[in-house]
């Protein structure tokens, strides 16, 4: 029983490791594609980052970002890469819930759900 649990722990770790690496690689690829399009296409826009102005709504709303990506807009593609990156550790937490449940480790299933709940609260915009 103890041995069995140990093996499952190792499986879970291997899977989490693979998942994190895939997420980072995928988002880096998307970001680079968008970034290259951005620097070669937008030759007339000089960014002014000295004074803070909220980033345009087209780079905040997920629907608008996806619309931009479908029109092959450079900065929308970068934002998609950024979103994939932010989603990577969140996906890790979601997977951990399932993994702890499969191990019948109910205490840690609850602990992980609490972490997920806090992140969901943050996503829901209760804070922003």
Partner 1 sequence: MPRDIVLRSFSLYMSILVFTLIILVGAFIAGLLGSLTGLGGGVVIIPLLTLGFNIDIRYAIGTSLVAIIANSSGAAAAYIKEGITNIRLGMFLEIATTIGAVAGAMIAVYFPTHWVAILFGLVLLVTAALQLRKKEDHLEVANGDTLAGKLRLNSSYPTSEGEVHYSVRRVPGGFLLMLLAGMMSALLGIGAGAFKVLGMDHIMHVPFKVSTTTSNFMIGVTAAASSVVYFQRGYIDPGLCFPVVIGVLLGATLGSRILLRSATGTLRMIFSIVISILAAEMIYKGIKTGF
Distances (CA, A) of 108 to 23, 73, 96: 24, 42, 9
Helix (H, G, I), strand (E, B) or coil at 126: coil
- Quick one: DSSP state of residue 55? P
Report the nearest approach of partner 1 to the CB of residue 84 (Å): 10
Report the nearest approach of partner 1 to the CB of residue 53 (Å): 8
Report the nearest approach of partner 1 to the CB of residue 54 (Å): 3
Please calculate the CA angle 32-120-87 and round it to the nearest 5 degrees. Answer: 20
Contact residues toward partner 1 (CB under 8 A) are 9-10, 12-14, 16-18, 20-21, 23-24, 27-28, 31-32, 34-35, 38-39, 42-47, 49-52, 54-56, 59-60, 74-76, 78-79, 81-83, 85-90, 92-93, 96, 107-108, 111-112, 114-115, 118-119, 121-123, 125, 127-128
**Residue 56: how many other CB atoms lie within 10 Å:** 10
Contact 16, 96 (CB under 8 A): yes
Of 12 and 101, which has the nearer Cβ to partner 1?
12
């Amino acid at each position: 029983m103890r041995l069995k649990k140990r093996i499952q722990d190792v499986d879970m770790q291997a899977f989490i490791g693979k998942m994190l690496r895939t997420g980072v690689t995928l988002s880096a690829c998307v970001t680079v594609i968008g970034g290259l399009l951005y620097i070669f296409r937008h030759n007339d826009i000089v960014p002014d980052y000295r004074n803070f102005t909220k980033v345009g709504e087209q780079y905040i709303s997920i629907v608008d970002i996806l619309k931009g990506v479908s029109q092959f807009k450079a900065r929308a593609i970068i934002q998609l890469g950024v979103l994939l990156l932010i989603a990577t550790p969140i996906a890790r937490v979601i997977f951990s819930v399932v993994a702890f449940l499969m191990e019948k480790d109910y205490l840690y299933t609850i602990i992980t759900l609490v972490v997920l709940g806090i992140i969901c609260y943050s996503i829901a915009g209760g804070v922003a």
